[in-house]
Amino acid sequence: MRLFPLLALLALAPLAGCQSDADVLASQFDQSCTVATDCVGVEELSVRGSMCTYRCPRSAINVNAKAAFDAAKQKAGAHCTSVAMPDCMSPGPIACSNGRCGYPAFDEDAFSSDVSSD
């Protein structure tokens, strides 16, 4: 009789993984650069339970980190049953400032000087 609650918990354990929360953010990946062509824009992902929400592309990472970023988004969103994608305006040109990829239009403080863009 005492094994039943333990077995029930073990049976439900795989379902717990489907309800996890996760964010895939540009800041979790390499954002270093020398010039703007080292950078690529990305859509960040927020996962809450089975709901995926993509964010407008206002962040950038190093082009060499793009495959890992995409793989992390795919893994994080594998169990989503609902997806929200906002209407987004163009973020403007990507730039490299002080060795970091980004969009000057959305991070004025970091990109106020020393900007290299395409």
Looking at the domain assignment, is residue 63 inside a domain? yes
Say yes or no to pLDDT of 89 above 70.
Answer: yes
Looking at the domain assignment, is residue 2 inside a domain? no
Looking at the domain assignment, is residue 3 inside a domain? no
Mean pLDDT for all residues in the chain: 79
Q: Please state the φ and ψ torsions of residue 41, each to the nearest 5 degrees.
A: -75, 145
Looking at the domain assignment, is residue 5 inside a domain? no
Looking at the domain assignment, is residue 12 inside a domain? no
Looking at the domain assignment, is residue 24 inside a domain? yes
Count of domains for the chain: 1
Looking at the domain assignment, is residue 11 inside a domain? no
Confidence at 6, pLDDT banded by 50, 70, 90: very low
At 110 the pLDDT is 54
Which residues, including other chains, have CB under 8 Å from residue 82's CB and lie 6 or more apart?
Answer: 50, 51, 52
**What is the domain extent for residue 68?**
19-117
CB 45 within 8 A of CB 23: yes
- pLDDT for 30-86, tens place per residue? 999 999 999 999 999 999 988 999 988 889 999 999 999 999 999 998 888 998 888
